[in-house]
Chains A and B, each alone.
Chain A
Amino acid sequence: MTPMQIVFLLVASVTLASAVMVVSTRRMFHAALWLILTLLGVAILFALLESRFFTIVQVVVYVGAIAILVLFAVMLTRHVMSEDQPQLNRSWWIASLATIGLFTGMVLVMRTWPIFTTTQRAVGPGGEDLQKLGFAFVDPSGFMIPFEIVSVLLLAALIGAVFIAAERKGGKG
């Protein structure tokens, strides 16, 4: 067991454990915090995958924005649902069955793929070439159109979110 493997296992298990806590804890605030931890763990994994850019992006976007957003939502809707009652709905056992089934199935399918257990990386030691990524985004024969569409999507989401969540009386809309 190389040190990398140990690090990986550690990080992976922490991440998974906190993910499990996210989905099973009763107290919403705790769930949000566990979510932050999970996201950080994922960021570390990104780093292990030699992707420096996305590590940072993950922390900035996910933890810095989305998780905060989730926290706000939790805080705004806290008093509605009592935290003593069960948090899982009636068909949680079907869900768990499906989930386990899916996990098992996918792992089994993956195992039939020979390259599944390779350890050889294609990426160089420096990680990704960010400039190349940037050029790829704006290159018409590259990924410019998806880039633009995503921009529009973000714009729409922005406007939509503001609109939906606005107060009816006196607010926008």
Chain B
Amino acid sequence: MNPVIQTESLSKRYGRTEAVHDLTLSVPEGSIFAFVGPNGAGKTTTIKTVMNILEPSSGRATVLGVDSRRLGPTEFQQIGYVSENQELPGWMTLDGLLAYCRPLYPAWDTAFAEDLRRRLDLPSSRRIKDFSRGMRMKAALLSSLAYRPRLLVLDEPFAGLDALVRDEFIQGILELAEQAQWTVFISSHDIDEVERLADWIGVINEGRLHLAEPVASLTGRFRRVEATFEGDAPIPSPLPASWLGVERAAHTLRFVESAGGEDDEACVRAALAGATRVEIAPMPLKAIFMALARTFRTNAAGDQGKAAFLPAQAREALPHRWTETKR
């Protein structure tokens, strides 16, 4: 299946600052792809480049099979885009805004728009300038969903939304899955927001993509391991490359095992043969993200363990989706 968004060695510089570095990523059709990273990691720059709001400094991006620099009305009629700081004409009412958008999109579905408006609990005749932040975001989502886009791109949509509005917003996004072709690309600095929604995760930090993989594979290979020893806990030397964030306190050794694979637990238990108790537990996405973020920081100092967050089977031959940063 063709990826809906594909970037190849995409870089974007602002003067001397490189906001996005050599980013190669593909977003498969029919996925909800969460693009996660701390504030300032390069998420918005990537999205703006992909959406042809910015030009790449080098590399390229294709969207729905078209080079991002050539994206025009035909493509944008099939793409919905909502960003954190969406500008909407404040003097218009919601009805006015929808009437303004309708002729721009051949696939606009008036009945669907009205259904969404009710579900999102938006007033049709109040001016947008009197809308709360949450209402504005919902209005932007509504105007991007009413033509049932093949691709929905959301840049930090949940920032500053209260729990109820966020919930309505998510329900709106899920409406898309009703149609034959749909893909959602959603950026967030908070992995908790997208945990149940996403089936693919890409992690970006300091402009570099650190991983892109299905959520099931990510949660399948990360395990928190805690081992207790009779005496002082030993630290094996050399340390297995897949052990992240190894900590020791008296009798206890704690780390994150990131290799995954069939015999993974057996390997860990074998390496900890002297332990009186070994506990291996699955980890929430948030904890996986934190463990990776700590590793990025450590690795910034040196190259050691650079491949540690890649799954075992990907370490030797790196297929393009297990993107590793090149220097």
To the question of whether A and B form a pair in one complex, the answer is: no
